[in-house]
Every structure is written in structure tokens, then in C-alpha cells.
């Protein structure tokens, strides 16, 4: 997709970006580019920065378990031109070689039809809309293994693809929204193919690059303007309680004279940007699966923005957006600033150049931290409450149970002359006995000199269990005594009347 000069040729865009202060670095090098003059006239940006990485932390239950590690990588073309004869469209991702089952998946790509629809609107203005819209996708990329020649270039290895002719190999591997493209995919160069120098390096990177033997390189071309987002994932057997695995991405590889190809190479007539000091990416970060000291040192450099510590690969600030890449967290001249300066893009006003890496050095690195999962503290089990013991049911009593609580009886107080007469009211026993006892001998009441029998006997309530009962024999004796006393009283009265 072409982005023409009239689309971006507005000075107001540069003024708006400078006023926002989002992508313009704060420092400049004497004799180098002036960042305040990068975005002007015929040089524009639609992505801001050019490269961003983000690591995803994970945990395992114990040492020896396999961890699934995931990273997010955002890349954009460093340069493209409206006449399509100057571009820097390659990118490379360095993945720890200890990762197995590596997959690369496109998760977001530029939405070019949506951009064209926006441009067709009469009120479209790049001063307010200066990024390429994106859309979410989920497209796994084919990985093609290639070899290295003595110059560091990628070469076809017939041992890897014995049934394929070299001319049929997809040398122009790239990422694009066109998932039917036969060149959709990435090229992988394994770490064991590093040029044997000390430390290992590739000549294609313009000098020694330490720790190159710890990483596999995945390179590809970028098929158009805007930001592409990839998910990189793999598996690793954990050998220590803390493991820090870095990843790095760059987009300052090759300056080429044609678009639509792969990442670039000398064989394709491209110039390596690693020939320039600003184009070199510096040493790759060290890592170890088993050395606690290496992991501890690396973990101290892990931040929300990435893995710090490399002066030639300053960490890129996160934007949280799929269509925009931030500048470096430390003020620096970006790769786009340097490219614009060295290749004098402002000197060719007839061509519009779209660049990335404004205030961003075209390199970023991050790390995934693998730890042991925190085991939840066992919560104390609640002490079971003792179940109430069942009291044995009382055996049925031979005496009937009271149907209601007995009311206390009112016993009349006898007269002084009657105190020798026992009260017929039985006392309520404190504890009911199962069988009432009968008194062995009933005492014979004495006859009072003047009988004073109450006309109405005191009312006696009937408590339960029943009061003591008189036996039949005692009742007969009482009747006989009553009759004898009655007869004696009649005779005595008649005798007194006779004498009187």
C-alpha cells in the first residue's frame, strides 16, 4: 500500500507531534540529527516508535516442571518511500534457544481497507488521524529453517528440505494481512550456526555480538505501513526456583532498494545498517536455566517497560495500543532520526518518506520471569463440635405421671384444744416413690372434751402420685369407734337430764 506525499505533506503534523511531546527525544548528539527537525516537510511517521517487546510471567508447581512462556512483540517498518525504491522493512526477533515448540502468531495487523475508507471521507485529516487502524487476528506463522554462510547470510540448507529445490524456497518470508500469501512466515537461524568467534557473532551484525549462541534468530519482512503485533511462545523445563528468559527485537537490519521482499540480505543487493554505529544492537542479554546469580541479576533489571541494562537497546515505553509504539524510556536519538539524517531524506522533497523509530532506537528487549507458584496456606480445619449425647429414655414408671403440677394445699391451723388431733391432710412427698408405703400402726385419736369438728372439712387437692390410702380394716375400726362414742354421748345426755 502506498502512502503518497500529499497525504502526509503537512507541517502541522510535525508541530502537533512536537507539541504532544510523545515521540520526540530530549537529547541530540553534536554533529548528528536534530530530532526537532526529523518530522518535517516530506518525512512523516504513522507508528511513532518502531519496536516494542513485553514479557509474560508465569509459574510452575515445582522445579522440573515444564513452563509455557509467552511474549508480545510489536514491529513496524523503519523506512518506506512513496516511490517504493527505498525501504528498510526487515525485523528480527531473538528467542532463547532453550525454548522448545516455539510458535509465532500474528495477533494484530494493520487494517488497510479501513484506512482507505477513512481517506475517502471528505473531512479526513492526518493531523488528527495519523496512525494506521489495526484489527485483531489469530494467524500462526510458518517457520522456515535456514543456514548461515561464512558471511553471516541466510542460505538454503538442502538437508533440512531434501524434497525442495532452492529456487522454490520462500526467500521472501514476511508478515502481511494477506494470509493467502505463499511467503507468509518467518526464517529461523538456529543458535548453533553462529560464526565461531569469541564471543560468538555474526558478520551480518557488523562485529562481535556476545551471547549470540544463546538465541535463535527469527527474521522476516514487514509487508506494509503500520504496527504488526506477534505472540511468541514456547516451552522450557524449569531447573531453578527463579528463571529469567529475555527476548529482543530489532527493525534496523537492511536498507534495500525494493519493497515486497524478505528481511534483506547482501545477496538481495541491500546494505546492512549494522555498518553504522547507531545501527548495531549491542550484546544480547545473558541468561541461565540453573545459575541463581545470573537469574537474580537479570530479575533486578526487569521493569514494566522491559529488560533494562543495554545502552544500544534502550527499553521502549508501553502505550497499551496496537497501532502506536512509544519512545524509549530514556531520551535518545531514534533509529528513524539517524536514518533521516544520514540518507538526507529532506533533500528529496519530491518523495515522501514514512519512518518509525522517532525517539526510539529500533531495538527493545523484555523478559519472562518463571517462578514457583505460591502454595496457598492450608486453612485450619474447624474443630468439629461434640455431638450432644443422647440421654437414655427413662423407663416407664409403674405409677402414673402427674398430669399437672400439684397446687399447694391450704391446711387450717387447729385450735389450741384440738392440737392433739392429727391433721388428716397428707404431706406432699418431696420425691415421688414408685410405690406408696402404708403406716404399720394407726394411732387411736383421743376424744376431746368438747368435740369441735369442722362442719366443712378442709379441701384437699389431689396431687399425683396419690396420697397414702387407708386400708379397709382401719376404716371399719374407725366406724365402730364412732358409733361407740356416739352411743356413750347419748346415754350421758339422758342421765344428766334424768338427774336434773
| Residue 410 scores a pLDDT above 60 | no
**285 vs 301: CA distance, rounded Å:** 11
Nearest in space to 264 (alpha carbons), one of 74, 77, 44: 77
Q: Judge contact between 20 and 358, C-beta under 8 A.
A: no
Residue 13 neighbours by CB distance under 10 Å: 20
Q: Is 62 helix (H, G, I), strand (E, B) or coil?
A: coil
The answer to whether the pTM exceeds 0.75 is no
d(CA 271, CA 186): 20
Per-residue model confidence (pLDDT) at position 481: 52
Q: What percent of the chain has pLDDT over 70?
A: 66
Burial tier of 312 (Cβ tally within 10 Å: 0-12, 13-18, 19+): middle
Closest CA to 338 of 89, 25, 127: 25
On whether the CB atoms of residues 35 and 204 are closer than 8 A, the answer is no
Alpha carbons within 13 A on the beta-carbon side of 339: 37
Lowest mean pLDDT among 67-71, 121-125, 191-195: 191-195
Q: Residues 67, 68, 72, 77: what is their CA dihedral angle, to the nearest 10 degrees?
A: 110
Ramachandran assignment for 130, one of left (phi > 0), alpha (psi -120 to 50 degrees), beta (any other): alpha
The three-state secondary structure class of 408 is coil
Query: What cell does 104 get?
Result: 509465532
Q: How many helices (H) and strands (E) does the chain have?
A: 6, 23
- At 351-400, the pLDDT tens digits run 999 999 999 999 999 999 999 998 877 777 777 766 666 555 555 555 54
Contact assessment for residue 109 and residue 132, using Cβ atoms and an 8 Å cutoff? no
Give me the mean pLDDT over the 34-45 stretch. Answer: 91
Amino acid at each position: 500500500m502506498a502512502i503518497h506525499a500529499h497525504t502526509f505533506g503537512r507541517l502541522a503534523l510535525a508541530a502537533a507531534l512536537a507539541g504532544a511531546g510523545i515521540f520526540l527525544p530530549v537529547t541530540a548528539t553534536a554533529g548528528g540529527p536534530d530530532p526537532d527537525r526529523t518530522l518535517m516537510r516530506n518525512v512523516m511517521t504513522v507508528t511513532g516508535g518502531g519496536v516494542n517487546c513485553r514479557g509474560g510471567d508465569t509459574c510452575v508447581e515445582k522445579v522440573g516442571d515444564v513452563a509455557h512462556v509467552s511474549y508480545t512483540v510489536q514491529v513496524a517498518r523503519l523506512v518506506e518511500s512513496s516511490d517504493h525504491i527505498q525501504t528498510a522493512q526487515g525485523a528480527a526477533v531473538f528467542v532463547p534457544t532453550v525454548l522448545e515448540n516455539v510458535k509465532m502468531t500474528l495477533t494484530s495487523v494493520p487494517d488497510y481497507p479501513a484506512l482507505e475508507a477513512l481517506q475517502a471521507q471528505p473531512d479526513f485529516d492526518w493531523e488528527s488521524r495519523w496512525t494506521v487502524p489495526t484489527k485483531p487476528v489469530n494467524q500462526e506463522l510458518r517457520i522456515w529453517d535456514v543456514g548461515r554462510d561464512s558471511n553471516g547470510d541466510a542460505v538454503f540448507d538442502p538437508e533440512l528440505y531434501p524434497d525442495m529445490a532452492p529456487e522454490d524456497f520462500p526467500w521472501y518470508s514476511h508478515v502481511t494481512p494477506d494470509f493467502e500469501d505463499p511467503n507468509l512466515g518467518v526464517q529461523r537461524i538456529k543458535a548453533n550456526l553462529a560464526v565461531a568467534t569469541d564471543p560468538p557473532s555474526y558478520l551480518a551484525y557488523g562485529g562481535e555480538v556476545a551471547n549470540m549462541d544463546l538465541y535463535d534468530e527469527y527474521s522476516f519482512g514487514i509487508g506494509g505501513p503500520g504496527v504488526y503485533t506477534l505472540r511468541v511462545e514456547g516451552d522450557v523445563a524449569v531447573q531453578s526456583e527463579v528463571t529469567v528468559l529475555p527476548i529482543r527485537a530489532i527493525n534496523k537490519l537492511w536498507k534495500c532498494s525494493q519493497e515486497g521482499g524478505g528481511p534483506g540480505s547482501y545477496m538481495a543487493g541491500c546494505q546492512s545498517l549494522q555498518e553504522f554505529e547507531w545501527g548495531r544492537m549491542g550484546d544480547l542479554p545473558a541468561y541461565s536455566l540453573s545459575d541463581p546469580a545470573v537469574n537474580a541479576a537479570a530479575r533486578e533489571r526487569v521493569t514494566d517497560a522491559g529488560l533494562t541494562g543495554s545502552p544500544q537497546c534502550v527499553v521502549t515505553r508501553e502505550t497499551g495500543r496496537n497501532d502506536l509504539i512509544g519512545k524509549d524510556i530514556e531520551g535518545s536519538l531514534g533509529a528513524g532520526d539517524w536514518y533521516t539524517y544520514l540518507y538526507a531524506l529532506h533533500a528529496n522533497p519530491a518523495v515522501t518518506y514514512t519512518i518509525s523509530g522517532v525517539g526510539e532506537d529500533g531495538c527493545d528487549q523484555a523478559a519472562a520471569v518463571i517462578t514457583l507458584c505460591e502454595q496457598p496456606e492450608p486453612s485450619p480445619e474447624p474443630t468439629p463440635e461434640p455431638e450432644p449425647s443422647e440421654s437414655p429414655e427413662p423407663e416407664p414408671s409403674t405409677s402414673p405421671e402427674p398430669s399437672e403440677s400439684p397446687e399447694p394445699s391450704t391446711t387450717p391451723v387447729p385450735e389450741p384444744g384440738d392440737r392433739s388431733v392429727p391433721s388428716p391432710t397428707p404431706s406432699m412427698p418431696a420425691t415421688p416413690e414408685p410405690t406408696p408405703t402404708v403406716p404399720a400402726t394407726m394411732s387411736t385419736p383421743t376424744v376431746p372434751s368438747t368435740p369441735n369438728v369442722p362442719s366443712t372439712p378442709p379441701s384437699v387437692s389431689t396431687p399425683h402420685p396419690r396420697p397414702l390410702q387407708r386400708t379397709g380394716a382401719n376404716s371399719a375400726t374407725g366406724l365402730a369407734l364412732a358409733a361407740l362414742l356416739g352411743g356413750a354421748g347419748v346415754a350421758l345426755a339422758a342421765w344428766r337430764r334424768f338427774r336434773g
